[in-house]
Amino acid sequence: MPDTGLTSLRTAVAGVSGYTGGELARLLLRHPRLANTPPIFLGRLGEADAQPVALTSLHPQLSGLPHADELSVMAFDWKQLQRESIDILFLATPHEQSRAWVPEALEQGIRVIDLSGAWRLHSEGNRAVYKLEDADPALAATLQAEAVYGSPELHGPAIAHARLVANPGCYATSIILALAPLLRANLVDLDCGIICDAKSGVSGAGKSLVPANHFMQAADNLSAYAVFGHRHTGELLEQLNLTSEQIQFTPHLLPIPRGILSTIYVRLNERADTAEIQSCFDDFYADAPLVRVRRSPQLPQIQHVVRTNFCDLGFQLAPDGRRLVVVSCLDNLLKGASSQAVQNMNLMARWHEVEGLL
C-alpha cells in the first residue's frame, strides 16, 4: 500500500484507567507515526476541578515507553480537545457516556473510534440490551445510520472514510471472523443452526468488581453466563445476516486473566473436503495481515495469541464432510478491543493497517 496517508495525527483517549484503556495507551505511545505527537489522556466529563493524575500511576507498566513518564490524565474538557486540534478521539468509556459524547465530538469535527457498545448495533431491538437514552433521538438515529462497524477484515474501505467507527465486541470479533468466510460462500446449512461455545478470561468483564470475578469464585472454575442474552449476540446477527433462531452463542468465564477461545459447530450444505474449506478461509483472509489461518488439522490455542494482535483460526472437518468445527482465538484486550481500535485508526489515517501492531 503506498504511503499516501496523513503526515501527522492528533489523538486523545477518554477512559484510560481500565484494562482496555491501558493497552490502548501502550499501543499509541509506541506507534511510530505518533512519535512526535503522543496522545492526550482524559478523565470524565464534569471533573473540571480534578487534579491531573500521572499516567504511570494508573498504569506503572507503561513507564519507560516514549513520553509515558511525562504524561498525565487530565479532566475531560471539550475546549482542550479544540486547543489540541484533536483529529481522532478514542472513547474507552461506558456505553451511556459514549452515546452522549459522540454527537458533540462529531459536531466539533473530531472523528471517533468508540470501544463501547453504544454505536455497534443498527437494529433498535438488538440495541435495547444497552438501555440507551438519547437527548436528541433524531440526531442519534442519523449518527447511528452513519456509524461503521469497525471490523477491518469486513469493512476496511468504509472505515477509512468514516467519522464514527464502532469498535466490535471481543466475543463478536472471534465468532464473526470464524464464520464470515463460510457464510459469504454459502457453505453453511442454516436450517441446522450454528452453535458458538466461547470462553473468555476474566479481564473481559473489566475492572469493576462483581462476585463472579472474585478470585474465590473464578479460580479453579468454569461457568456459563448470559445464556440467550449476551449483549454481543446482536453483533453476530447483524454482521453475519442471521436470525436468532439460526445461531446460539453461549459465553463462559475462564479462570485466566485474558484471551478468548471460541469453538463453533456448523453443518455444511453439501459434502466438502478439507482442501475446499482451507481455500475458503485462505482466500477470504489473503489480505488480512492480523488474521492467521492454521493448516488443518492444527487448531489455535489461547497461549498462541495472548498479548498479540492476531486472531488465529483453525478447523477440522468430520469424515462425513458435512460436520465442521472452527476454532477462533484472540486476546480480548487487543484484537478484541485496543489493537483493533488502532487498526481502525490506521485505516482512517490512510496508513497501513498494521503500523504499530507488528
Q: Which of 170, 196, 280, 311 is catalytic?
A: 170
Residues with Cβ within 8 Å of 53's Cβ and at least 6 positions away in sequence, in order, are: 43, 72, 73
Query: In which residue are the cell numbers 484472540 written?
Result: 330
Q: Which three cell numbers stand for residue 189?
A: 446449512
- Alpha carbons 294 and 145: distance in angstroms, whole number: 36
CA 323 to chain centre: 29
Closest C-alpha to 114, from 127, 95, 128, 130: 95
Catalytic: 329?
A: no
Residue 146 neighbours by CB distance under 10 Å: 12
Q: How big is the chain, counted in residues?
A: 358
Q: Largest alpha-carbon pair distance within the chain?
A: 67
Closest C-alpha to 29, from 342, 351, 352, 350: 342
- Alpha carbons 147 and 149: distance in angstroms, whole number: 7
Catalytic positions are 170
